[in-house]
Chains A and B, each alone.
Chain A
């Protein structure tokens, strides 16, 4: 129970007027950067770092981490209302969140997202509290083959049960993989597929593609149907929020499962974005009844949001205990840690207990603060939808392009946003699934790197992926997830056919 005493001690540090104020400021700033696509949490946090030089490290990390939570909440808002993921990790939230909002239930969708996010974050912090020491030792066992297995598992969980036309899924997947491989390859040190264009040297940014595919693509679809948003929530009232909260317990199984997926992906190197996809895929597979996913299912919002936030919080653990950031934002915070003179590593928990446990305690509080603040903004955001399309439509277009530009301050990215807007529109209209493209862009290059490193370590032998119980069981699980649904599906069809004949 040592950890519990330390946590109480941490609460003593976190609950001061100054720290509570920092949490509120951090969450609010985070909401702003989260809502604006492109200007994501990593940018926001790195801009705050110089301001933190005058704070003590505990106050500084509380401010920065609160901003991160705020950004995660804010990212879901635009996903649901406009189909534009404000943060990479909220892409999967668009799949069901946006249809639900379009069906006139934007308040419900937003409330579901924020509450699940809060629950996910709390699940994550509880795990950090209880398992801090064990989890970081576990993470040390992950070498290149294990990394690859984790990425492969995320792929398999999502792709295994795809419902779209298989050949079109392949096209989408392959397109994502190719886009991800543009630019410098870290393992071979070679510049790939740039065809001499300097603009492509840094690779094609995932965020730029997503802003185009989802944001601009959706606007084109909206415009084609006439110049208005389809289905606008007419009234927003607090009772909607409360009613939605009351329906949450019904989905406890989805919440718990998604929380576990998130925790797994946060501690292993998968990261929040992959976690949200994987969780969405598993939720879709395990639901047999009701209307299909992608049409506004509550589980389709709960699953990615819970997983995203539990992974986001758990990602703090490898960062603090090992110095390995599993998200871009964590990488920036780690830079801050070093500037403040703290060294991430196993000893941080022993040498700076005030810092570590103050942070962990603040994660409980600031996530609750975050849920409250963000719920208060729901009416405001939902009201945005009532602005005439001729005003808000072009503003969204402009924000998408500005967002695309801010990702890496490159003019070339404006063209990419435009091109991928068209691609997003065509793919959606022609029933090409977008999700495999996005997922393979997130994981493709990482998986390739891990595969390549494994091959170097094993002198080119594939058996390395079954060389120890850990990697072997992850790979087996992944293969099972990839193949079993197809078999079950086939079996189900055969069984159904027999009685008829």
Chain B
């Protein structure tokens, strides 16, 4: 599967446009007028949101126009539009992102120490080709370093899950 630049442009423009729309709606609730003592609190978000919607629409249209001319170009025997992500890259990126997503969910449920130790060990094992025990040493060593730097040296508590209290660490 290949993602074309056209798709990415469209997706991003829709995303930024949605942000602009959200701002306009949120600001409209606050009031966006100009009182005698200056702008109301929604004034800037409202107009900045409108500008963002406008600019996003512009980018959307520009992407369509470029897409059409590229297609015409390709039909006339020219080069096909450059892909944004070919299958191989998409796969690599997808796997990396999926692992990151699992890491975030694991961190939120099990705490940063468990999450990061597992994440690093998994990557060293599956991506780095290290043997599982070695990979585990990397993961645990990293979590231990985090603990020493943040919690012991700088008294900064990190997110903990259900496992640490069982071991007497809060």
Write out, one digit per residue, whether chain A residues 448-487 have a CB within 8 A of any chain B CB (1) or not (0).
1001101110011000000000000000000000000000
Measured in the bound complex, the distance between the Cα atoms of B123 and A123 in whole Å is: 46
Q: Which of B129, B154, B155 has the most CB of A within 10 A?
A: B154
Specify which of B93, B112, B138, B153 is in contact with A224 (CB 8 Å cutoff): B93
Measured in the bound complex, the distance between the Cα atoms of B142 and A253 in whole Å is: 44
CB-CB contacts below 8 Å: B31-51 with A: 34-42, 44-45, 48-49, 51
Q: Is A398's beta carbon under 8 Å from chain B?
A: yes
Measured in the bound complex, the distance between the Cα atoms of B123 and A388 in whole Å is: 11
In contact, A411 and B108 (Cβ under 8 angstroms) = yes
In contact, A192 and B30 (Cβ under 8 angstroms) = yes
Q: Is B69's beta carbon under 8 Å from chain A?
A: no
Q: Which residues of B contact A501 (CB under 8 A)?
A: none
In contact, A455 and B37 (Cβ under 8 angstroms) = yes
Q: Which residues of B contact A174 (CB under 8 A)?
A: 20, 48-49, 51-52, 55
In contact, A181 and B39 (Cβ under 8 angstroms) = no
In contact, B12 and A427 (Cβ under 8 angstroms) = yes
Specify which of A168, A394, A454 is in contact with B119 (CB 8 Å cutoff): A394
In contact, A167 and B59 (Cβ under 8 angstroms) = yes
Distance in Å: Cβ of B29 to nearest Cβ of chain A: 9
Q: Which residues of B contact A47 (CB under 8 A)?
A: 154-156
Interface size on A, residues (CB 8 A): 64
Q: Is A103's beta carbon under 8 Å from chain B?
A: no
Specify which of A171, A194, A414 is in contact with B104 (CB 8 Å cutoff): A414
Nearest CB in chain B to that of A168: its residue = B59
Q: Is A430's beta carbon under 8 Å from chain B?
A: yes
Measured in the bound complex, the distance between the Cα atoms of B48 and A195 in whole Å is: 17
With known contacts A33-B154, A178-B23, A426–B34 Cβ distance under 8 A: no
Q: Which residues of A contact B112 (CB under 8 A)?
A: 401-402, 405
In contact, B123 and A426 (Cβ under 8 angstroms) = no
Decide if the interface of chain B is mainly helix, strand, loop or mixed: helix
In contact, A411 and B159 (Cβ under 8 angstroms) = yes
Decide if the interface of chain A is mainly helix, strand, loop or mixed: helix
Q: Is B80's beta carbon under 8 Å from chain A?
A: no
Measured in the bound complex, the distance between the Cα atoms of B146 and A398 in whole Å is: 10
Specify which of B36, B37, B45, B107 is in contact with A178 (CB 8 Å cutoff): B45
Distance in Å: Cβ of B38 to nearest Cβ of chain A: 3
CB-CB contacts below 8 Å: A390-438 with B: 390-391, 393-395, 397-398, 401-402, 405-406, 409, 411, 414-415, 418, 421-422, 426-427, 429-430, 432
Measured in the bound complex, the distance between the Cα atoms of B153 and A44 in whole Å is: 10
Q: Is A378's beta carbon under 8 Å from chain B?
A: no
Q: Is A170's beta carbon under 8 Å from chain B?
A: yes
Measured in the bound complex, the distance between the Cα atoms of B45 and A181 in whole Å is: 7
Specify which of B30, B120, B159 is in contact with A394 (CB 8 Å cutoff): B120
Q: Is A54's beta carbon under 8 Å from chain B?
A: no
Write out, one digit per residue, whether chain B residues 90-116 have a CB within 8 A of any chain A CB (1) or not (0).
001100110111011001100010011
Write out, one digit per residue, whether chain A residues 168-184 have a CB within 8 A of any chain B CB (1) or not (0).
10110011011001000
Q: Is B124's beta carbon under 8 Å from chain A?
A: yes
Q: Which residues of B contact A44 (CB under 8 A)?
A: 154
Q: List 26 A-B contacts (CB under 8 A).
A: A33-B154, A39-B150, A39-B154, A44-B154, A47-B154, A47-B155, A171-B16, A171-B59, A175-B52, A178-B49, A181-B44, A193-B27, A220-B97, A224-B93, A390-B123, A390-B124, A390-B129, A394-B124, A401-B116, A411-B108, A415-B104, A418-B101, A452-B38, A456-B37, A460-B34, A460-B38
State the 10 A-B residue pairs at the shortest beta-carbon distance, nearest first: A455-B38, A390-B128, A188-B41, A174-B52, A398-B116, A394-B123, A390-B127, A193-B26, A190-B41, A223-B96
7 new A-B pairs (CB below 8 Å) besides A44-B154, A227-B127? A39-B156, A171-B16, A178-B45, A192-B41, A397-B100, A456-B37, A460-B36
